[in-house]
A and B are shown apart, each in its own frame.
Chain A
Amino acid sequence: MSAALRVLAPGPLTTLQDGGRFGWLRLGVPPSGALDPCALAVANLLVGNRRDAGALEFTLAGGAFAVEGGAARVALAGADMDMTIDGCAAARERSHTLAPGATLRIGSARSGVRAYLAIAGGFAVTPVFGSVATHVRSGIGGFHGRALEAGDALPLAGAAPQGPELRLTAAPPPTHPRVRVVLGSQDDHFTPGAIETLLQGEYTVTARSDRMGCRLAGPRLEHAKGFNIVSDAIAPGSIQVPGGSQPIILLADRQTTGGYPKIATVIGADLPALGQMRPGERLRFEAVTLEAAVEARRLLADWLDGLPARLVPLGLLDSEMLLGANLISGVISGEG
C-alpha cells in the first residue's frame, strides 16, 4: 500500500492548489491556483518540492489529517495557524517528518486567511489541463474537482526524504502599505470623481469574498455611462464595479470574461497579500505607473528566486549574523 493522507476533518474550505492552470483562458477556464503563491512556494521548498507544486490550501482554519501507509514530510506556511503532530506543538515554516499513523491537526488562523500544507513528493492526482489546482465551481482539477471531505484519502506521490529537516531563515516577502493599481482598462466608464474616490477612500473586505473575488464595501464608485459594457476578458486583479457601485477585485477562480466595467487592476505583486486579507480588514488603493508595477513584480520575483538560498538544515548554526549575511548577499546578487 502506498502512503496516503487521510482527511479526518477537512476544515471550512480545503482544496488542492498549485501555481495555476495557464493557457486555457480562450476556452473559458480560469487559472485557479494558490491565492498566496508566496506561502505556497515556502511550504513546497521546505519539503524539497518545486515551488509551484500542488499543496493543500486551508481557508481561515486547517483541519485534522492522518498519515497512512508510510512516513511523510510536511511543512505549513502562510496564515498564522497552530499545528500539532500527535498532540505536540509543531512550528510553521519548517519541515516535519511524520511517522506512519501520525495525526496532524491545524487550527484557526490568528491572522491571514490561507495557509498551505505541502508534502514531500506532492499528491498523486492526475493533472487536468496541465494543473492539479481545484476550480470547485466547474469541478476541474484537484481531488475529484471538489473541496476535501472527511474520509478522503489523498494518495502521496513520493516517499519522505532522508536528510535533515529544513527551516527558513526568512525575510517576509516585500510589502506595501497600500494596494497598488494600474488604472483601466475601463476607467473611462467612470466619473473623474469615482477615480478620486477609489484612490482616497477606505474599503473593507466583506464576508462575501471568496476565491473568485474579494468583495469590498466602501464609498460608491459612480459609473459615467452605465454599468453594462460589451463583455470582455477579466485580468487577474481586475476591479470590477457592477450596478451596486461597490468594487470587486477578481482573483484566481474568477469568470474569464464579464460585462461590468473595470476601473483599475491590482498589480501582480500585490495579489498574494490580497489572498490573506480577512473579512473586516480595511485597505486603501494607490495608483502607480506600469513601470512601478513591473519594478514591484521584479522585487517579488527576486524574493521568490532567493528562497532556496534561505533554507537551512535544522540544527546547523543559524545565528542572527548568518541570517543578516544571507539577506545581504540575496539583495546584492539580485538575479532572477
Chain B
Amino acid sequence: MTDYPRLLPAGDAGLVVELGEHVSLAVNARVRALDRLVTEAAIAGLLETLPTNRSLFIRYEPLTLPHRELCSRITALLAHLPEAPEERGGRSWIVPCVYGGAHGIDLAPVAAMLSMSEADVVARHAARDYRVFMIGFQPGFAYLGELDPALAVSRHAEPRALVPSGTVSIAGVQTVINSVAAPSGWQLIGRTPVRLFDLGRGEPFLLAPGDRVRFRPVPHDAWTALEARAQAGEIVAEAVP
C-alpha cells in the first residue's frame, strides 16, 4: 500500500502532490481544495498550479523557492486539508448532447457490453451532475466525474486516430468532452455542439476545474440548428444560476 499524500519531483521546477491512488470525486474534491489553499497562501516563487484527477501539479522557480522549502509549505497546508472538503464556487451548465448513431458510434456496442438498452445508457449518463475534475490534454478539454458505476467500461485497446471536437465519451469512472479534434481511445457515446474552447468568443473557455455539468439529451434533428448557433459564437450550453 502506498501512503498518500505523496510529494514527487517532476524535474527541477515541478512538484506533484498526489492525494490518492485512484480517480474519484472524493480524491478530486481534495485536489481542488488543496489548489485553493495553495493559491490563497500566495507562496513567493510558486508560478502556477494545475489540478488534475488525483494530484496537484505545481510549477515553481527553484532559484527563488527551493524544493525543500516548497515541500514544507505544502506539507503545512496539507495538515489543514479536510478529509471531505466542502465544494466551493464553480459554475453550473446544462450541455445539450446528441447520443448514439453517427454522433456516438460506440453507444450501441457499449449498451451491448453492459446488457442495457441504449436508452438506459443515455438515461443514466444524463441523470446526474458531474464535476469538472480537470481541464487537460488540449485547451479546454474537460474530464468529468463521477460516472454512474453501472456505466463503467474500459477504453479501446487501439485509440481512434481522430475524433471530432464536442465528442462525449466514457471510460472507467469518467466522461470527457473533446474541446478539439484529437486521437481518442475512449468509448464515444454522443456529441455536443457546445464549443469548450473557442478563441473567437469573448470567453474562450467554457469550463474550469470544479464547474458542474449535466447533459441534456437532444434529438438528432436538433443538431444542425444548434451547431449553426455554436458556429456563430453562441455558447448554446445553458447556464444554471
List A residues at the B interface (Cβ < 8 Å). Answer: 22-29, 128, 137-140, 145, 182, 184-185, 230-233, 235-238, 255-258, 262, 265-269, 290, 293-294, 297-298, 301
Contact = CB atoms under 8 A, between A and B. Distances in A.
Contacts of B57: 25, 232-233, 235
A266 B143 CA distance: 28
A138 B182 CA distance: 10
Given A230-B53, A233-B55, A255 B11 contact: no
Given A185-B10, A268-B11, 20 more contacts: A22-B47, A25-B48, A25-B57, A28-B137, A28-B141, A28-B179, A138-B138, A182-B11, A182-B12, A230-B23, A230-B54, A231-B52, A233-B10, A233-B57, A235-B10, A235-B14, A255-B138, A266-B11, A294-B62, A297-B63
Among B67, B136, B143, the one with the most A-chain Cβ atoms within 10 Å of its Cβ is B136
A211 to B, nearest CB: 15
Contacts of B235: none
Interface string B21-39: 1110000000000000000
Given A26-B208, A28-B137, A231-B137, A298 B9 contact: no
A255 B137 contact: yes
Given A26-B209, A27-B208, A28-B139, A231 B50 contact: no
11 contacts: A26-B50, A27-B135, A28-B137, A138-B180, A185-B9, A232-B18, A235-B10, A255-B136, A256-B50, A266-B11, A294-B12
Interface of B: 8-14, 16, 18, 21-23, 47-55, 57, 59, 62-63, 66-67, 134-141, 143, 179-180, 197, 199, 205, 208-209
A231 B134 contact: yes
Contacts of B8: 184-185
Contacts of A293: 11-12, 62
